[in-house]
């Protein structure tokens, strides 16, 4: 995964509000989704999962070749079903598309 201002990739950052009791379950569900489905979709570039020390927030960073690739993945029956399951494991989640404005290092 490369984070640069010159990359043409689309960046999606999704944050999940969880409890310590459901944090690992959601990480497992997200890993399964990426390993078996999302990473095989057209336009997928890379992804990373991050969890805070208190296990109350998960952040997911993913890159896509085009905005339309990410949107098409979300509309598939499989991802719609997976998102329904994910929704039961967290208080809320919100995917937001960003452009890289600046990097260091």
- Residue 90 DSSP symbol: S
Q: Is the pLDDT of residue 1 over 80?
A: no
What SS3 state is found at 19?
A: coil
86 — pLDDT class (breaks 50, 70, 90) = very high
Among the listed residues 98, 78, 97, 96, the one whose alpha carbon sits nearest the alpha carbon of residue 29:
78
Confidence (pTM): 0.91
pLDDT, tens digit, 9 for 90 and up, residues 34-82? 999 999 999 999 999 999 999 999 999 999 999 999 999 999 999 999 9
Comparing 105 with 10, the larger pLDDT belongs to 10
**Domains of the chain and any CATH numbers:** 10-98 (3.30.70.100)
């Amino acid at each position: 995964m490369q984070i640069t201002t010159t990359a043409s990739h689309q960046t999606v950052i999704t944050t999940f509000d969880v409890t310590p009791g459901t944090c690992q379950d959601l990480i497992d569900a997200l890993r399964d989704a990426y390993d078996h489905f999302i990473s095989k979709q057209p336009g997928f570039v890379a992804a990373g999962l991050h969890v805070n020390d208190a296990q109350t927030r998960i952040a997911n960073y993913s890159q896509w070749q085009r905005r339309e690739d990410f949107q098409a993945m979300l509309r598939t029956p499989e991802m719609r079903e997976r998102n329904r399951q994910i929704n039961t494991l967290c208080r809320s989640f919100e995917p937001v598309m960003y452009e890289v404005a600046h990097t260091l290092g």
